[in-house]
Amino acid sequence: DAKTTQPNSMESNEEEPVHLPCNHSTISGTDYIHWYRQLPSQGPEYVIHGLTSNVNNRMASLAIAEDRKSSTLILHRATLRDAAVYYCILRASGGSNYKLTFGKGTLLTVNP
């Protein structure tokens, strides 16, 4: 998987929006952008993924830059339950893309 860069940590207040950035300047045309999160003492949890267009689901929104070299995960109203490590991962089609490669991610702290 191509490399992604995320801030080590971010902080937010409860009920405020959170924008988690991810840079992936070496992304290729067939790479999907995936986000997973890992709550304390739990397994990773899928959040959202996209290829070129912005995506929305019940958990979050994914905004993808026009050149696809960066993306932003948006939590519209953070809750205490959103405190987790958030991982931005690129997945190509075919090859060995099943090796979902986790970096260090961004540790999100949500203040009450």
Partner 1 sequence: NAGVMQNPRHLVRRRGQEARLRCSPMKGHSHVYWYRQLPEEGLKFMVYLQKENIIDESGMPKERFSAEFPKEGPSILRIQQVVRGDSAAYFCASSPQGASSGANVLTFGAGSRLTVL
CA pair distance 50, 41, nearest whole angstrom? 27
Which of 8/112 has CB closer to partner 1?
8
Under rule CB under 8 A, residue 30 binds partner 1: yes
CA pair distance 23, 59, nearest whole angstrom? 21
C-alpha dist (Å) from residue 34 to 23, 50, 55, 82, 100 = 12, 7, 11, 17, 10
Residues 33-62 binding partner 1 (CB under 8 A) are 34, 38, 42-46, 49, 51
Among 84, 105, 108, 110, binds partner 1 (CB under 8 A): 105
Residues engaged in binding partner 1 (CB under 8 A): 30-32, 34, 38, 42-46, 49, 51, 91-105
